[in-house]
Every structure is written in structure tokens, then in C-alpha cells.
Structure 1
Amino acid sequence: MNSSSNAKRLVLLVDDDALLLEFLSEVLGHAGYETTTAASAAEAIRKVEAREPDMALLDITMPGMSGLELARHLHENTAVPFMFLSASGDAESARQAASSGAVGFVVKPVDAARLMAAFESGLARADEIRQLRRTEANLNAALAAGRETSLAVGLLMGRFQADRNTAFEVLRDHARSSRRKINEVADQLLAAEEVLNSLHAGFASRLKSK
């Protein structure tokens, strides 16, 4: 499965088993991913500092700093998503992987088909997390940029029973499609709502007088 869309996606492979690293590199390379390898956590940290990968595949048990400790470092100091390789498929290993923030878990011995299924599932999950973070960052920036946007998002939430992210995304997409700033669209929306409220009051007054 050689995909040009994967060509620029870098995967860091971390394991003290040189033969396994070679196998993982071959399988992922055949699938169109760029790979780089590290035989220890210390080497992995140096490589991440030089260039952050799109995914890290970490052996849980390694001499020196373990894969779990490396995962903790990545989680606290980088935005690199990671998966674990483990010789154990027991519940405790899976629990440790999940609690550390891993997006996937592969049990050794690894075959190509099982590796790619788990890897691409983990990568998809990592992409979802990245998108959520981008949306949240965009939302926070927009809300901080102007009171109008904040009020308009709240208005859309109430009018359409939507959550905050959805309301913001609809407002943002409309602004983009009309090639206008989001604050301008928000201001127009609030002005329209004010007019509608005034008209509603006028209708209510007329109906009451009849």
C-alpha cells in the first residue's frame, strides 16, 4: 500500500532490537511512510528535538529509560503522538499504555498486516486529536479577538442547539466562503438578531392592542 499522501509523514521507531527496527522500517517504508530509528530513549529524544515525527512507535521495555518514561517525556514536552510495542498483551500493559496517552498498542511478535492495521488506526486517532486541538486553538483565538464573535457563537448555540465548537466552525466557514473576517460576520449576525428582536416586539405590541 504505497501512498504518496503518506510520503512526508515521519515515523520514529524506538526499540533496542535492531532486527525489529529494520523490519518495522521496511513495512512502514513500503506503505509510503518516512521512518527514522532510535535504539534508546535518549537517542529518540535527540531525534525528536531535531525534527518532530508525526508518530512515534515505542518499545515499552528498554534498557535505561523505559518506553513508558519516554512516553511521559513526549507527552509533557512535545505534541508527538505515540503508540507502544510490547511483548506482553496483558491487561496491565494495555492499561499503562492508555493511561500514558498512547493512541495505540501493538503486541509482539509483529506481522506486517497486524502492524499496519494497528498503526493506521492509531494515526487516524492522532489526527483526530490534532484536529480537535486546532479547532480549540482557533476558537480560543477568535473568542479573544472580539466580543462580537463570542456573542455570535452563543447565539448560534442557542438557536440551533449546537455545541460551542460546531457553532464556531459554522460561523468560521460562512466567513471564509464569503471572504470576510469572522468578526464582521458575527457583527452582522448580532445586528440581524437585534432587528428581529425589535420586529418581534413590534408584532407583540400590535397583537396585544387588537
Structure 2
Amino acid sequence: MPAQVVASHHLLIVDDDALILAFVASVLTCAGYHVTQADSGETALSLALENPPDLALLDVAMPGMSGIELARRLQEETTTPVMFLSAHGEIDIVKDATALGAVGYLVKPVEATQIVPAVEAALARAEDIKRLRRTEANLTTALAAGRETSMAVGLLMTRFQTDRETAFEVLRDFARSRRRKINEVADELLKAEETLNAFRSAFLEHARSR
């Protein structure tokens, strides 16, 4: 049995083989993980939706909902990363499952000494992916904010017949004086211009109808 490790991660283990399920759960519980067990894909999905785990260990071949289908559902309905428990003949299937976001796999028969290192590696991989997604989300937000600011600067340049540098400085100083983020002020300016244009169109339409 592996030595105790400092671990507070919540793991969901899914296998229709009661002996393998109990064995893997015992190893990981002794290692300090919080473990939830399920003997079917349907039960596992219900448990994951109720209390999403940090990592799900899925048997590939199970009656009813297979591990591959369960992984697909977990990707669609939760953010749970998955790794697979597979027999030798299922390795090609598991490799194909990387497209579903699998972060690792263990080959049966599983040795006790292999389980914790594989789980730790999978958790680390999952954290790397999560960090990358956060970075991408932040970059997307920053790019959107940059577009709003650029459009607002262009609007000020046109409206007040000034150069880009002056327009940006005025926008920045205006935001600072109100302790606001420049992209928030830029967004409000663009929305105000859009509203003003809508009123202009309404007045023109009203004048034509008279």
C-alpha cells in the first residue's frame, strides 16, 4: 500500500467490477483522497452533477453507459477531468478518448503502487489545462476590452476632430477621475452613441411621416 500523501482532492471512481472498484477506492482512500464510488455510468453521472469531483476515474467498458459515453457527458455537463481504467485491448480506445479531454489512464490489472502517481499526474495535467483555459479567457476579455477602447477613441476623434493620442488621454483621464476602468467608460460611450443614433433615426422617420 502506498504511503500516506497530503491530498484533499475529491475523486469519483467508476467500475462495474466490484473487486476492482473496492481495490482502487481503498488505495486512494488510504492515500488521503476523498473518494466516491459508482458501479455504473448512470449512477456516476448523477453523482457528478450533484457534487462535481476534481477527477473521475472511469472504466472504459461498462454495461449501459460506457466510460467513453460517460466522459462525453461529463465534458458536456460539468468541467470534470477524466482518466480511464482500461484493459490491454482497450488502449487504442483510450488513446482516441484524449479528444474528450482525458488526462491519463491506468491499464488493468492495476498495481497498488501505480495508482497514486497516475492520479497525481492526472490532477496536475488537469490543473495545467484549467490554468490555460483561464489564461485564454483573460486574453479574450482583454482583447474585447481593447476593441471597445479603440472604437471609443475613434468615436472621440471623429466627434471632436482630434488626434488619437489626445482622444485616448481624455478618455483615460475621464475614467480615472471617476475611478472607473477605461473599457467600462468606453463601453458606455459606445452604447450612448448607439442610442443617440437610434433617436436620430427616429426623428428623421417622424419628420418624413408628417
- Bin of the TM-score, shorter chain as denominator length: 0.5 to 0.7
Deviation of the 1:12 alpha carbon: 0.4
Cα separation, 2, equivalents of 1:40 and 1:141: 40
For the aligned residue pairs, the C-alpha RMSD in angstroms reads: 2.6
What is the deviation of 1:100?
3.0
Give secondary structure in 1 for the equivalent of 2:63: coil
Contact 2:60 2:90 (8 Å CA) reproduced: no
Query: Residue type of the partner of 2:43?
Result: E
SS of the residue corresponding to residue 16 of structure 1 reads coil
Deviation at 1:141, TM superposition (A): 2.3
Partner of 1:55 in structure 2?
Answer: 55
Q: 1:140 to 1:65 in 2, by over 3 A?
A: same
**CA 1:60–1:141 in 2, change beyond 3 Å: closer, same or farther?**
same
Task: Check if 1:13 corresponds to 2:13.
Answer: yes
Q: Is 1:134 the equivalent of 2:134?
A: yes
Tell me which amino acid in the other structure corresponds to 1:47: L
TM-score scaled by structure 1?
A: 0.65
Query: In the TM superposition, what is the alpha-carbon distance from 1:57 to its structure 2 partner?
Result: 0.2
Distance 1:183 1:24, change over 3 A: farther
Aligned residue type for 2:57: L
More displaced stretch, 15-24 vs 127-136? 15-24
Secondary structure of the residue aligned to 2:65 is coil
CA, structure 1 residues 94+45, in 2 after alignment: closer, same or farther (shift >3 Å)?
Answer: closer
Cα offsets for 1:161-194 (capped at 9, x unmatched): xxxxxxxxxxxxxxxxxxx99869xxxxxxxxxx
Alignment match, 1:70: 70
What is the percentage of aligned positions where both structures have the same residue?
A: 52
Q: 1 CA distance for matches of 2:106 and 2:182?
A: 46
Aligned residues: 154
Q: Flag structure 1 segments of 5+ consecutive residues without an equivalent.
A: 151-179, 185-210
- Distance in 1, Cα, partners of 2:149 & 2:31: 43
TM-score (normalizing by structure 2): 0.65
Alpha-carbon displacement from aligned partner over 1:43-86 (angstroms, at most 9, x marks no partner) = 01110110111000000010111111111111222211000001
Q: Offset of 1:146 from its aligned partner?
A: 4.4
Q: Which residue of 2 aligns with 1:2?
A: 4
Distance 1:54 1:12 in 2: 8
Task: Map residues 194-205 of structure 1 onto 2, 5 A cutoff.
Answer: none
Paired residue secondary structure (1:109): coil
Provide the C-alpha distance between the structure 1 equivalents of 2:110 and 2:91, rounded to a whole number of angstroms: 18
Once residues 145 and 39 of structure 2 are traced to their aligned partners in structure 1, the CA distance between those partners, rounded to angstroms, is: 46
Match of 1:120 in 2: 120
Give yes or no for contact 2:49–2:78 (8 Å, CA) kept in 1: no
2: CA distance between counterparts of 1:108 and 1:129?
A: 26
Q: CA deviation at 1:139?
A: 2.2
Counterparts of residues 88-167 of structure 1 (less than 5 Å): 88=88, 91-147=91-147
Gapped regions of structure 2 (runs ≥ 5): 151-178, 184-210
